[in-house]
Structure 1
């Protein structure tokens, strides 16, 4: 009993340290007892990983994952660390969890919401773009899949998109309904997050999706996203929806038009816009600045090669021009400027391109020449240094080391593997020497 109480006390200390961002304390506790990384409070109320994810402490999140924490662990409400991070808008944590291949499709127990619902409700467009890039690492929009854009993308990225991606996976994920039929677009519109509404529509969110008659609000039962936008009272959300084809004359299960919802909420400035057969002009909106086009390729590269690159035995010309700390490992398709994987991933996670710039929709500006980047490709390497993160199992890498060293670990399905914890990136390994290596990412694509 004494040992159990002592373990519980240490676990509570780790949860507190993870919540407060005390890296030194967290490391000391985990070094003393590595099993604490998998600790969960009584009845699964929380865990150190949940606490760190919700507070945005990326360093502690990575440390816990490296020590064996379950990145898909649920708390008492069925929420995963990814949901906690998306709810708080901690895009750095979301990025880290995706690199470790967390399951983005899990839904909580209470309302059936996924991480996408939490990100949309909170207005966190950066989290949404990361989730979309994880589900479909290819080109989701017909507007950006013209030949002029595709020709700029490396052959490696094109082959991955064609072979390993389900074109409908992203649409199913974006339109997945929680309890009551509420989709992410409904929540973004209700809370007035126009950037999220814009991005979700560009990612093929269903603009005519109806909630069920058992939805919580009596004014929005059986309603479309336009009804929810009218309830929220945000003018720009209504304009974006109308510009993409939303119908002003649709009635909900209560028999109300969107204009009736706006009138009941006191949003009188929306009445001229939402009135059926309104003559008020609606502005045109270009593609969203948050489209995750280059993020899709760099996320896969980071999963395979890791984020860290060595600076040993290299001159200054090999260093990344952004951080001046790591060697260049990727190149931008098009302009060809080279960056390290970590800087390229952060650039794609945070940047957005001005719609007035003459660049493909969904690209991000190169930090060196301002040209629009649509994709990244890995730079060729002659050797793999000892200790460097790699993403191929020993079979897929020609038994170079005998044991895989990547911390982004999932179980290898190859019968020839020497290490049961070696990494098999599903988007890369595929079929090797006649053996099919299964997808262990946790999400069917």
Structure 2
């Protein structure tokens, strides 16, 4: 008799778990009306609750119904993983958002490698889940107790941050989102002052040129040693990542680094930031062509990710060079960036070259930015330049108080203003150019 009763309960449990996984709401509701305590049941081996199953299978309606029954949102399985962690692992962004709204703790650690849901989002490359977690971290108790940047750089049992995992697994979109959120590009897995692997070591091991490119553009150190005394270049060679090794070779010219310490760069609006990021990418891609050519490797595609496509689409507001004034520095591209407060304009490539030329002094609290190449005034802000029509050009030419923008009239102004400025000349030497033109090689 007791054995029959036990078999019946086991059958009911299995029926509940199957119904939850398949999203059969009516069946689950019928089971709950008969016996509400079944929500406390767990699977035999993995100790998965109905909430775990609903989250991992992406059953949002089932998840909502279970949460209405006051089920514990942070219930643990045998690896101390929460339903939120399983939803992240399987890329169920809707379930992730629902669990966070229900109060799921994003700072829970599992018992496998002491990883959080942010680690799992970076490892598996689910950028939607990662962004949902980062958004929640701004307003949850985590922001008050830990601080947002500390959470972004949280370490697992092996000392790896989410940025390490994204770089190792070649998850470029997650890598970009973490970098934009303040992830430390030179974070080490070593603790208590001991050396360890950086995200650049991980990217070199994984072999993603895109990840290596992004980390270098954010200031990753090519000479930093890991626990075995190897630089990222050596790691790339050991794992036969030839293209990565070409970029990481310490004897090759470094890529341009995004000038994030500059105040007016950190205050850019999204449109201006997109244009400058695209200019930085194109300048570095020109340098990469030379490095990869020497290594007998094919050049990397310019638009290798969706983010680059977004940047390109953002810049389509500028229809063609004929619609805007020609840059008075390179005389190749239209003026897309305006300097405030002086109002002088130049192209995005020359702007990024100017900002990347002067490296900030780490000993000073505030990074001293470059000056406007035309009037030598302090740059307080960079914004998108307005496209001027022919009527606007005629108005400017008739007004003696406004700077002239035509190619002919600006040649003397641009050249004289840059005569005492070594920014463009230095940039040209670094890029292997004799003309001083941004991001081009002969």
**TM-score with structure 1 setting the length:** 0.55
Higher relative contact order (CA 8 A, sep 6+): 1
| CA distance 1:240–1:52, shift in 2 (3 Å) | same
| CA distance 1:209–1:164, shift in 2 (3 Å) | closer
Q: Which residue is 1:82 aligned to?
A: 84
Q: Which residue is 1:255 aligned to?
A: 229
Query: For the residues of structure 1 that align with 2:259 and 2:14, how far apart are their CA atoms?
Result: 49
Unaligned runs of 5+ in 1: 139-162, 214-220, 288-350, 359-445
Query: For the residues of structure 2 that align with 1:251 and 1:245, how far apart are their CA atoms?
Result: 15
Is residue 134 from structure 1 mapped to residue 136 from structure 2 by the alignment?
yes
Residue in structure 2 matching 1:224, options 193, 198, 209? 198
Q: Which residue is 2:60 aligned to?
A: 58
Q: Which residue is 1:199 aligned to?
A: 177
Retained in 1: the 8 A contact 2:142–2:151?
A: no
| CA distance 1:243–1:352, shift in 2 (3 Å) | closer
Aligned to 2:158, what secondary structure does the other structure show?
A: helix
Deviation (angstroms), 1:92: 0.4
Deviations, residues 121-148 of structure 1 (Å, cap 9, x unaligned): 000111111111111139xxxxxxxxxx
Correspondence 1:323-342 to 2 at 5 A: none
Correspondence 1:9-158 to 2 at 5 A: 9-42=11-44, 45-137=47-139
Deviation (angstroms), 1:177: 0.7
Deviation (angstroms), 1:283: 8.2
Q: Which residue is 2:393 aligned to?
A: none
| CA distance 1:352–1:164, shift in 2 (3 Å) | farther
Q: Which residue is 2:314 aligned to?
A: 357
Deviations, residues 85-112 of structure 1 (Å, cap 9, x unaligned): 0011100000100110111100001110
Larger radius of gyration: 2
Deviation (angstroms), 1:236: 0.7
Aligned length: 268
| CA distance 1:70–1:6, shift in 2 (3 Å) | farther
**TM-score with structure 2 setting the length:** 0.55
Retained in 2: the 8 A contact 1:38–1:70?
A: no
Residue in structure 1 matching 2:151, options 173, 176, 187? 173
Query: For the residues of structure 2 that align with 1:237 and 1:285, how far apart are their CA atoms?
Result: 18
Query: For the residues of structure 1 that align with 2:227 and 2:308, how far apart are their CA atoms?
Result: 39
Aligned to 1:181, what secondary structure does the other structure show?
A: coil
Unaligned runs of 5+ in 2: 266-306, 316-442
Query: For the residues of structure 1 that align with 2:50 and 2:5, how far apart are their CA atoms?
Result: 20
Deviation (angstroms), 1:279: 1.7
Query: For the residues of structure 2 that align with 1:235 and 1:261, how far apart are their CA atoms?
Result: 14
Q: RMSD over aligned Cα, in angstroms?
A: 3.3
Deviation (angstroms), 1:263: 1.0
Is residue 271 from structure 1 mapped to residue 245 from structure 2 by the alignment?
yes
Retained in 2: the 8 A contact 1:212–1:222?
A: yes
